[in-house]
Amino acid sequence: MDVVIIGNARCFHTMDWYREVAGIIKPRKVIFLTDLIESESHEKLVKESDIIADLYNIDWLLLKNQSNFGNIWRNIIKLLIIPVQIWKVRRFQEKNPHVIFHAITIYYMFLCWLAGIKFIGTPQGSEILERPDFSKWYKYFAIKSLHAASYITVDSVSMQKKIKEISGEDAAVIQNGIDVAEITDTDNGVTVRNKIISIRGMYPLYRLEEIIKSRNNSNDKPPISFFYPYWDDVYVGYMKSIFSEGDLDIGRLAKKDMYTLMKSSYLAISIPLSDSSPRSVYEAIFCGCCVAVTPNLFIDSLPDCMKSRLYIVDLQDLNWFEKAVVKAKVITSIPYIPSEEALNVFDQARSMKLVCDLYYDPQKWN
């Protein structure tokens, strides 16, 4: 049986998942059924070798840049075309009756539920950890989508617990993984780590102004480089207004360029209001950085070799940034060598093999 991934083709995580699975289950095919490929200033990730199927593409209806209004507009468009996309999913299933569907994010799980097909579901962090607490309607439809899934996978214990709490459903914790092979192959040509980087989205959720505030309270006030996969134009403008000389607004980076920058950095900072299982934190660790993080449940499940690269931040301490800098210089004086446990859990080649063995077995779907 072939596998159909239903998701957002602009998402790095989903595309990595798709390509890893495609390499593992050959000669079976993996088809990507999507409505988003290139819009809102996102980099086009789809390649000619990818097998893409149309879920009614909405790129042409969206705004040019990312913003809160753009997010609202996209959601309105998606609501309006749900009937068309339900028809598309059903039609695809009728033409391809012997496939395994895997929906990545709640929205695509919701579509599969409405289309009445069997599917595996993989929600993402804030879809479970935050949104059900702010909208009763969202919570209702999220629970319906979770009930409809034949299997559910998540990337953190916190998501697993929240799904059990709100829906009673069991979810398996399997890391999305990171591209260890490309991290290993990336040579930045520099042996000195001399940069501090912010590695999360340019949204208020990630508390980037707190980073600036604590840096400004430090003695040396070193510059910070900000790069991010997603952003809000208004928040970017605000952040630039409080930058100091030397701070860099890098924006989005291709994966290899991101790894090159991480390998030139001694401190990476990730202090969001909430977190599930932050891939960029794991990538920074595997690139040898020290990562400043706030206390979170995901830390407890990390192998010791990864925990040892973290500095736990107390945001009530006005000097947390300066203390993180001192700690990072000590930590990065020792090269990071991942343990076998870390590779088994976080190497996407190994974690996706586990997904294929557990959920893409045709015997489970016959």
Among the listed residues 208, 297, 305, 225, the one whose alpha carbon sits nearest the alpha carbon of residue 262: 225
Tokens found for residue 46:
């789809």
Residue 171 CA to residue 275 CA, distance in Å, equals 18
| pLDDT tens, residue by residue, 125-140 | 889 998 999 999 999 9
Q: Calculate helix-pair angle for 106-115, 68-95, nearest 10 degrees.
A: 40
| pLDDT tens, residue by residue, 101-114 | 999 999 999 999 99
pLDDT for position 165:
96
| pLDDT tens, residue by residue, 158-181 | 999 999 999 999 999 998 889 999
Q: Is the pLDDT of residue 35 over 70?
A: yes
pLDDT for position 190:
67
Indicate the pLDDT class of residue 54, thresholds 50, 70 and 90.
very high
| pLDDT tens, residue by residue, 176-186 | 889 999 999 98
pLDDT for position 195:
97
Output Rg (C-alpha) for the chain, integer angstroms.
21
> Between the CA of residue 28 and those of 14, 18, 204, what are the distances in Å?
19, 13, 42
User: What average pLDDT does range 286-308 have in this prediction?
Assistant: 95
Q: Is the dihedral of CA 43, 101, 31, 91 positive or negative?
A: negative
